[in-house]
Amino acid sequence: MTSYIIRRLLQIIPTVFVALSFLFFIFFALPGDPASLIAGGAERTIDPGVMERINARYGLGNSIWAQFGDYWQRTIRWDLGESFLNRRSVNEILGERAVASIRLAIWAVIIEVIVGLCVGLLSAIRRYSWSDKLTTIVTAVASAIPVFVLGFILQWAFAVKPNQWDWPEWARLRTSGIGPNSWTLFFIPTGEQWRYLILPAITLASVTTALLARMTRGSMLEVLRADYMRTARAKGLRERDVVVRHGLRNAMLPVVTLIGLDFGTAIGSAVLTETTFSWPGLGSQIVASVNDRDLPVLLGLTLAVVLAYAFVNLIVDISYAWFDPRIRLGKGEHA
């Protein structure tokens, strides 16, 4: 197991190098001159003197290979550079954005796991009943509603209308923003923080919860038909123990894979949710950096997303061994 973990950690290095290098070169293939866009060229024609200064300041006049070399020399020292737009340290931007994204992702995944697993399990146990049909319809609708539409509906229902109807303050949620940014144990909101957290977390979890419920249902239906389930019942175990200890645990492999992917996506790609709720996360900042051609911010934040995916996948793979004792990770064994 230890050697497996070390091997997987070392594999992150080439993964990060290939991903960021690819992004680096794709950046220069995008239309538009970065220097012009930094100078505000999307809104006005730029004085040539301004262009010259910007090219000199950010090395954008150098060859691509020279810029590539400079970039990796700095990155190895964990100096992610400065934003082209406002010269803020990318390390600082990353620190703020990554933390906000991880907190939101944790809660979205908590909602996803609790609701998705319960709904999926219920659907599987009571398959073809009215509750199964109802959850099928609800999950289909939840996965079809665009995230930003759901976000606006929730804002309207839980913040705008309560204000217009003069509800008491304790009954109102907040439309947007990260609020007081007060947490304990890294991810547990304190004070008024939960009012700002709950709507974006539900919105972010909505699509993935529906998919997880469907995945859990499908996986459980397979497991429920297995011989060992009949054996467990025959041994006289309670139905709850049969379903949860024997059934659900064996059904979890594909489900936990999906949870891992969802967590990674929630950290780095929750663009619509972050934009709708003005939650200062990685996804929306990455998109803004593409539009602004802000290369250092784009690469720095993508690095964080790649690392997040890599670590989450590692944890998912390790969890396989816990769910299924037949799986032993390490040299000579398959995962």
Partner 1 sequence: MRRQRRGLKLLALILGLSLVAAACGDDDDDEGAAEEGEGAEEEFQQGGEFIDLSAFSQGPAENIDPALSTTVSASQVGESLYDGLTKVDYSDIENPVVRGEAAESWEPNEDGTEWTFTVRDDLFFSDGTQVLPSSFKRSFERSSEPDFAGDYSYLFSFFEGGQEKLDGAADEITGVVADDDEMTLTTTLSAPYANFDAVIGFKLFAPMPEAVEELTDQNEWETMDGGLIGNGPFMLDAPINDQEIVLVPNPEWDGTKYDEELGLPEQPYLDRLTFRVSADQDTAYNAFEAGEGQTATIVAGRVQEAVDNYATTLNDPALGIYYFQINDRDPRVGGEENKLLRQAISQAIDRDEINQAVYEGTRTNATGITPPGIPGFQEGLCDYCEYDPEAAQAAYDEWVDAGNSLAEPLPIQLNADAGHEPVVQIIIDNLDAIGIPATAEAIPSETYFGQLAEGACVICRAGWLADYPTYDNFMFDLFDTSALDGNNYGYSNPEFDELLAEAKATTDADTAADLFQQAEQILLNDDIGTIPINWYLGTVAYNPDEVANLSQTPDFHIVWETVALANP
The CB-of-107 to partner 1 minimum distance in angstroms stands at: 19
Our CB check for partner 1 shows the closer of 42 and 134 to be: 42
Our CB check for partner 1 shows the closer of 36 and 208 to be: 36
The CB-of-185 to partner 1 minimum distance in angstroms stands at: 22
Our CB check for partner 1 shows the closer of 28 and 311 to be: 28
Question: Cα separation of 292 and 282, whole Å?
Answer: 15
Distance from the Cα of residue 183 to its chain's centroid: 19
CA atoms within 13 A on the CB side of 24: 21
The CB-of-304 to partner 1 minimum distance in angstroms stands at: 16
Tokens 């816990």 belong to which residue?
322
The CB-of-170 to partner 1 minimum distance in angstroms stands at: 14
Interface residues toward partner 1, by CB under 8 A:
31-33, 36-37, 39-50, 53, 57, 85-88, 96, 152, 155-156, 159-160, 162-164, 172, 174-178, 181, 274-280, 284, 288, 291, 293
The CB-of-110 to partner 1 minimum distance in angstroms stands at: 24
Our CB check for partner 1 shows the closer of 50 and 145 to be: 50
Question: Cα separation of 258 and 205, whole Å?
Answer: 13
Our CB check for partner 1 shows the closer of 89 and 131 to be: 89
The CB-of-35 to partner 1 minimum distance in angstroms stands at: 10
Tokens 């802000």 belong to which residue?
294
Question: What is the rounded (10 degree) CA torsion for 299, 300, 306, 308?
Answer: -160
The CB-of-248 to partner 1 minimum distance in angstroms stands at: 39
Our CB check for partner 1 shows the closer of 54 and 124 to be: 54
Our CB check for partner 1 shows the closer of 41 and 218 to be: 41
Our CB check for partner 1 shows the closer of 18 and 42 to be: 42
The CB-of-154 to partner 1 minimum distance in angstroms stands at: 10
Our CB check for partner 1 shows the closer of 85 and 226 to be: 85
Question: Cα separation of 254 and 138, whole Å?
Answer: 22
The CB-of-20 to partner 1 minimum distance in angstroms stands at: 22
